[in-house]
Amino acid sequence: MIPSIKNICCIGAGYVGGPTMSVFADRCPNIEVNVVDVNKERISLWNSSNLNDLPIYEPGLKEIISRCKGRNLNFSTDVKKYIQLADMIFISVNTPTKKKGIGAGQASDLKWVEACARQVAEFAKGYTIVVEKSTLPVKTAEVIKKILDSTQTSPDKKFDKSFDVLSNPEFLSEGSAINDLENPDRVLIGGENENAISALSNIYKNWIPANKILHTNIWSSELAKLTANAFLAQRISSINSISALCEATGADVREVARAIGTDSRIGSKFLDSGPGFGGSCFKKDILNLVYLSKYFGLPEVASFWEGVVKLNNWHQHRISELIVKKLFGTTSGKKICIFGFAFKANTNDTRESAAIKICKDLLEEGSILFIHDPKVDPKQIEKDLGIKQSVLNGEISNVEHLSKYEGNWFFTNKIIPATYEADALCFLTEWEEYSELDWNLISQKMRKPAWVFDSRSIVSAKEVKKAGLNLWRIGDSSY
């Protein structure tokens, strides 16, 4: 019999759990959706009456939360209570790359997933379907299943319990998460038990056509997630490698991308050369593939995928190096504005952002950075750079005393004033507002010779040149 799901618990109220469960609650008003997290601060932000305080910025999210919170969507730290109530439990916790021990630097650290599985094993009642949502290495379902099964045989059989484990990887992309959840290209469900698979399919069928819901075995589902991200990241490393060649040869990477993208076998998406891919998934997933390949005795496969990450690291350093080179070989004591710190536009997420590496390199060179981002909290930047932000005593225009801030950074929420006496502006995230700047005004403010470094092809190249500024644009040597 196909179980009817009335109560869902999602463990982990992060970038995946929060938006995913909000859309579930919105589209399934008859299901009670409870999102739990051990992080009290995060939960209190989800519960804040001011929707501008949500812990995650995602277009369209506020509207859904205001419709569903208190109706059938609830955020709580009471993990035990909501596991007990649930017919279906999603595991949506963090799985960062291991820092030490076997597989350090490559394998995912599954300690949070394991802790979750133990909590579920302890508190769940009756029959429960457990769904892995976090990005996980292949065969994690097996680990979860083993932990869950061990309790079924435990001596104190207070409650009868039984479990099925499904893999239902998330393909949402930050910044467009709500649209990706509402109109996905496909939903993938991997598992063994047909009834459990149907129970989850039936939830999705509330808003997704049946032909977009794919069923596979559990290992294919887990591997498909890693492979999808690896293929996407590989495209970005491919186009970024070509950008360097374009700069050397006089070709323009935008023209090359357009030319190859019209080949229907290649397609036009994910061909924008930038400062290198970031985000919580790409690097982690590829390193997982590398680890798995090595583990299964396939070193050639491992080194093929490792190349994608190596190219990305090289590309990020290439950008900071060329900034230093263009500024006469030193940026020590020079004022550089960094526009954009998030790993891409429309998110406040900075995980693996290219801006982190590039800013660290520039600070190491003694630059004085003024960092702007419309959504990232300066406290997050402090954590990422490992350096506290400096505070200006007085006006931004009082640059004489800036020299004592070599190797330090300031946060600024004003674009134009920040450019005062700056030697260079560096665009690292493609925020829309950067495409509409008054370049004549900016040019009047900057110290000459002044440079604009555009790693996202976001500023108007013509306007920058017309305003008398030097320009470096990714994959283009014509300026």
Q: Could you count the other beta carbons within 10 Å of the beta carbon of residue 69?
A: 17
Residue 232 makes contact with ligand UDX by CB under 6 A: yes
Check: CB of residue 394 under 8 Å from CB of residue 364: no
E strand spans, 263-403? 335-339, 368-372
The helix/strand/coil state of 411 is strand
- Both structure tokens of 141: 């379902």
Q: Using CA atoms, how far apart are residues 290 and 304, in angstroms rounded to an integer?
A: 8
- Residue 271 touches ligand UDX, criterion: CB under 6 A: yes
The residue (of 80 and 310) whose beta carbon lies closer to ligand UDX is 310
Q: Is 445 a catalytic residue?
A: no
Among 3, 5, 12, 352, binds ligand ADP (CB under 6 A): 12
Choose the contact partner of 116 out of ligand ADP, ligand UDX, none; CB within 5 to 8 A by kind: ligand ADP
Q: Is 132 in the site for ligand UDX (CB under 6 A)?
A: no
Residue placing its CB nearer to ligand ADP in the complex, 5 or 113: 113
CA atoms within 13 A on the CB side of 137: 23
61 binds ligand ADP (CB under 6 A): no
- The tokens for 321 are 């190096």
Q: Which does 281 bind (CB under 5 to 8 A by kind): ligand ADP, ligand UDX, none?
A: ligand UDX
Residue 136 near ligand UDX by CB under 6 A: no
451 near ligand ADP, judged by CB under 6 A: no
* Token pair in block for residue 466: 């017309």
Of the chain, the end-to-end C-alpha distance in Å amounts to: 67
Decide if 298 contacts 305 (C-beta within 8 A). no
Say which amino acid occupies 402: L
Amino acid at 182: E
Nearest to 344 by CA among 471, 255, 236: 236
Displacement of CA 162 from its chain's centroid (Å): 34
> How many residues would you count in the chain?
479
Count of C-beta atoms within a 10 Å radius of residue 416:
11
CB of 299 to ligand UDX, least distance (A): 26
Task: Identify the burial level of 94 via C-beta atoms within 10 angstroms of its C-beta, where 0-12 means exposed, 13-18 middle and 19 or more buried.
Answer: middle
- At its nearest, how many Å lie between ligand ADP and the CB of residue 43? 9
Q: What's at 406, amino acid-wise?
A: E
How many residues of this chain bind ligand UDX (CB under 6 A)? 19
Q: Does 97 bind ligand ADP (CB under 6 A)?
A: no
427 DSSP assignment:
E
Q: Which of 281, 287, 442, 474 binds ligand UDX (CB under 6 A)?
A: 281
Residue 380's nearest CA partner among 426, 347, 337, 406 is 347
Binding mask 65-84 for ligand ADP (x = CB under 6 A): --------------x-----
116 labelled catalytic: no
Is 463 catalytic? The answer is no
Q: Closest approach of Cβ 54 to ligand ADP, in Å?
A: 13
Q: Which of 334, 344, 357, 372 binds ligand UDX (CB under 6 A)?
A: 344
* Binding test (CB under 6 A) with ligand UDX, winner from 7, 45, 114, 171: 171
Residue 85 CB, shortest distance to ligand UDX, in Å, is 28
> CA 344, CA 224: separation in Å to the nearest integer?
24
Closest approach, Cβ 438 to ligand ADP, in A, equals 37
Pick one of 24, 112, 123, 277: the residue that binds ligand UDX (CB under 6 A). Answer: 277
Looking at residue 390, what DSSP letter applies?
P
The reply on whether position 272 binds ligand UDX by CB under 6 A is yes
Handedness of CA 14, 17, 19, 21 (dihedral sign): negative
57 binds ligand ADP (CB under 6 A): no
CB of 353 to ligand UDX, least distance (A): 7
355 binds, among ligand UDX, ligand ADP, none (CB under 5 to 8 A by kind): none
Which of ligand ADP, ligand UDX, none binds 94 (CB below 5-8 Å, type-dependent)? ligand ADP
- Could you give the CA distance from residue 121 to residue 165 in angstroms, rounded to a whole number? 12
Residue numbers at the binding site for ligand ADP (CB under 6 A): 11-17, 36-39, 42, 79, 92-94, 112, 115-116, 134, 280
Residue numbers at the binding site for ligand UDX (CB under 6 A): 170-174, 229, 232, 236, 270-272, 274, 277-279, 281-282, 343-344
Residues annotated as part of the active site: 170, 225, 281
